[in-house]
Amino acid sequence: MFGLLRPQSNLCRSAIELSNMWKISYHGKEKPVAVSASWNEQYEDLFLEEGPLEYIYDIDVPMSWKNKRLRFYFGAVNTKSKVYLNDELIGSNDIGYLPFECDPAGAIKYGSANSLRVEVENKLSKDGLPSGRMPGFEEGGNFPPANFDFFPYGGIIRMPYVEISSNASILDLNFRCDGSIPSKKLGIVDVKVEVTDECIGKDIEVSIGDLKSTKKITSAKEDFHFEIKNASFWELDDPYLYDLKAKIMSVGDLVDEYKLKVGIRTITLDDKHILLNGKPVKLLGFGKHEEFPVEGQGTFKPLIIKDYDLLKWIGANSFRTSHYPYSEEWLDMADELGFLVIDEAPHVGLEKYHYENPETVKLCVDDIRRLIDRDKNHPSVIMWSVANEPDSAHPKSDEFFKKLYDTAKDCDPTRPVTMVSCVPFCKKSGEQDVAMKHFDVISVNRYYGWYNHQGKIEEAEKLLSDDLDALRTYKRPVILTEFGADAISGFHANPAQMFSEEYQSEYIERLFKVADEKDFVTGIHVWAFADFKTAQNIHRPLFNYKGVFTRDRNPKMAAHTLRKLWRR
Ligand code: GCB
C-alpha cells in the first residue's frame, strides 16, 4: 500500500482519468452520477444516503495493455469501498480522504470491454474515521449523526485513474533536504527511489535541476545524494521549485520515468517560532473545508484556484487542511504559490472509546502513515496534525497520542508534529490537557466571546490573553489554530451583536491583536475561511457561518478587516 505514487502521463506512462459519467445503483435504480464529487447533492433522494451503493463504469481495455503494469488508482472514496473488475474483487479500502490502488491482474480482459464496479459505504460509526453514532446520538446531537460539524459527504470524491506503465517501474520517490544550509545557499538533497523487481539489473538516473547521478540497480531501493551549491531555496515570496526526475533505462532505452516538483527548504523550531530556512515565520491564515454546493466534498478545480486567489487577496500565507487530507491538487498549488500547510489526518472528535478500541488505534496509525506517505514530498507541507479537538483531558489520551506522535516522527523526522486541542490549559478550569506535552508545536482552538462569554469581546480578550500566557509553560511555539464567530452575510447590528457582520469583524480584529502581540504565538488561523454545510443541529442553521467568506466566496466585513490587518 505504501509508496503510492500518483498516476502521471509522461514519455513512459499513460494515466487515464475515469472521468466520464459513472452510473450509480441504489434501491433498484440506476442513474448517471458525476465523479469526482459526493453523491449527496446530485439527487434529492441521495442526500442522506449512507450506502452501501454501487458505482459502475465501463472501460475498454486494448490488447496493447497486455504485459504492462496496470493499476487502478482512487484519489479518495468516502469512506469504505470494495472494487470489483468483471465481478472479481481487486481491492478494498477502509479510510476516506486518502488514495489507494488496486491491481487488476487476474480479473482484466484484454481486447475487450470491462466492467468496473465500486461498492461504497459511508455509514457513520463509532469505529469509523471520522466517527459518528457515538453513544447517546439518538437523543440529541447531529443528524446525520456525525461526531463533527461538517456534513458527512459520501462517494468517489477524488479522481479515479487507470495507469499503464512498464513492469520495470518506479514505485516511490522520497525527497529529503532537511540537512540543507540556507545561510550558505547549500542544498543537501537525499532521494530514495523504490522500484519493482523487474528493474534490477537495469540502469537508473536521478536528476535534480542540472545535476544527474546514474547507477546500476542492484536492489529494490536505491539512494542518491546531491549537494547543490548556490541553491535557490523555496521561500514564501519566491517558492522556487526544482524538477526532480527518475528514469529507468534498459540498454540505453527509457523504460520508465517519474517527475516531481520539489522545493529545497528547511523547517525548524526554536522555543517560540517556526523557522523557514532559518528565519522565523508567522502563519496567518485559516482553517477551512474542501467542500462546495452540489459537488459536496469533491475536487472542483476552479474552486481551488478561486480559494488561493482569495487567500492571496486577503494576505494569508498558510492554512490547515482541517479536518482531513485535501486533494493533492491543493498541495501542488501551495508548492507553486508559496503557502505553508498544516496537513491534518482525518481524526476529528476522538474520545475515550477510540483510545480503548484497538481497531481504531490501528486505523489512526495507518492513516498517519498513509497521509505522510502521500504528502511527504511537498515543500508547502510544514507540519503534520494528528488530530483536531480530541478529548485530550482523558487519561488514556496520553498513551494514544504518544503513539500517534511517534508514528509521525518515525515516518518523517523532518517535520514538526502537532495536535489541535480545545481543552483549556488554565489550571483554574479543573480540566487539563494530558496529551499536548508530546507535541513539537502547541496548537489550540479557542472560542471565548462565542461559545462562552457570549457577546462580550472585552472579557474574551482578557481570557484569551491569560490562556495563551499559560501555554508558555510548554516553552514551545504556539499556534492559535481556531477562533471565530458566526456571521450571516447581510445581518447588521449597531452596536455589534452576535451573528452580525459587525460582531464577527470586531471579534476577529480584537482577538487577533491579542494573539499577535505575543512573541511565542507563531501562527494565527481564523475559523473559518468560508461558510460550510453542516449536519442538522439546533446550533447550525444549515451551515456553519464562521466563514469570513460566504460559501459562494463573497467577502463579509471581517474579510476586509483581515485584509487590512494582514497586508499592512
Ligand atoms: C471547532 C471545530 C470546528 C468547528 C468549530 C465551530 O472547534 O474544530 O470543526 O466547525 O469549532 O464552529 O464550532
Predicted confidence (pLDDT) per residue in 189-241, tens digit: 999 999 999 999 999 999 999 999 999 999 999 999 999 999 999 999 999 99
Q: Whose CA is closest to 129, among 313, 305, 319, 359?
A: 359
Asked whether 482 and 450 are in contact (CB, 8 A), the reply is no
Per-residue pLDDT, 424: 78
- CA dist list (Å): 216 to 86, 112, 139, 256: 40, 38, 65, 15
Q: What are the tens digits of pLDDT across the range 418-456?
A: 999 999 765 556 678 999 999 999 999 999 999 999 999
Protein residue with least CA distance to atom 2, ligand 1: 389
Copy the grid coordinates of residue 470. Answer: 499559560
What residues are paired with 488 via a beta bridge? none
Catalytic machinery residues = 389, 482
For residue 303, pLDDT over 90 is answered with yes
Asked whether 524 and 443 are in contact (CB, 8 A), the reply is no
Give the E-state strand segments of 291-421 in sequence order. Answer: 318-320, 340-344, 381-388, 417-421
Q: From ligand 1's centre to the CA of 360, what distance in Å?
A: 22
Asked whether 25 and 53 are in contact (CB, 8 A), the reply is yes
Is the C-alpha dihedral spanning 340, 330, 332, 338 positive or negative?
A: negative
Q: What are the tens digits of pLDDT across the range 175-193?
A: 999 999 999 999 999 999 9
Q: How far apart are CA 108 and CA 277, in angstroms?
A: 49
Instruction: Name every residue whose Cβ is closer than 8 Å to that of residue 473 and which is 6 or more positions away in sequence.
Output: 425
Q: Ligand 1 test: best mutation among 483, 527, 532, 545, most atoms within 8 Å of CB?
A: 527
Q: What are the tens digits of pLDDT across the range 494-515?
A: 999 999 999 999 999 999 999 9
Q: Which amino acid is at 553?
A: R
Per-residue pLDDT, 2: 45
In the predicted model, what is the mean pLDDT of the chain?
96
Query: Mean pLDDT lowest for which of 125-129, 137-141, 155-159, 187-191?
Result: 137-141
Asked whether 284 and 319 are in contact (CB, 8 A), the reply is no
Protein residue with least CA distance to atom 4, ligand 1: 149
Contacts by residues 376-379 (CB-CB < 8 Å, ≥ 24 positions apart)? 376/174, 376/175, 376/411, 376/412, 377/173, 377/174, 377/175, 377/260, 377/262, 378/331, 378/332, 378/334, 378/335, 378/341, 379/234, 379/239, 379/241, 379/262, 379/263, 379/264, 379/265, 379/335
Q: From ligand 1's centre to the CA of 144, what distance in Å?
A: 17
Per-residue pLDDT, 427: 57
For residue 3, pLDDT over 80 is answered with no
Q: Ligand 1 test: best mutation among 450, 482, 542, most atoms within 8 Å of CB?
A: 482
Q: In what order do the strands lie in the sheet with 187-195?
A: 170-176, 187-195, 221-228
Copy the grid coordinates of residue 327. Answer: 486533494
Per-residue pLDDT, 486: 98
For residue 1, pLDDT over 50 is answered with no
Q: How far apart are CA 404 and CA 413, in angstroms?
A: 13
Rounded to two decimals, the pTM is: 0.98
Q: Residue 503 — φ and ψ, nearest 5°? A: -65, -45
Helices (H) and strands (E) in the chain, counts: 8, 30
Q: Where does the pLDDT of residue 406 fall: very low under 50, low under 70, confident under 90, or very high at 90 and above?
A: very high
Q: From ligand 1's centre to the CA of 150, what distance in Å?
A: 9
Q: Where does the pLDDT of residue 139 fall: very low under 50, low under 70, confident under 90, or very high at 90 and above?
A: confident
Q: What are the tens digits of pLDDT across the range 446-490?
A: 999 999 999 999 999 999 999 999 999 999 999 999 999 999 999
Task: Please give the helix or strand (H or E) that residue 242 lies within, else none.
Answer: strand 242-250
Q: Whose CA is closest to 233, among 242, 225, 224?
A: 242
Q: From ligand 1's centre to the CA of 368, what distance in Å?
A: 22
Q: Name residues contacting ligand 1 (CB within 6 A).
A: 148-149, 323, 388-389, 422, 445, 482, 527, 544, 546
What residues are paired with 156 via a beta bridge? 77
Q: Which amino acid is at 259?
A: K
What residues are paired with 320 via a beta bridge? 287, 342
Q: What are the tens digits of pLDDT across the range 34-84?
A: 999 999 999 999 999 999 999 999 999 999 999 999 999 999 999 999 999
For residue 109, pLDDT over 60 is answered with yes
For residue 519, pLDDT over 80 is answered with yes
Percentage of the chain modeled with pLDDT above 90: 96
- CA dist list (Å): 20 to 161, 308, 369, 432, 521: 11, 27, 32, 52, 48
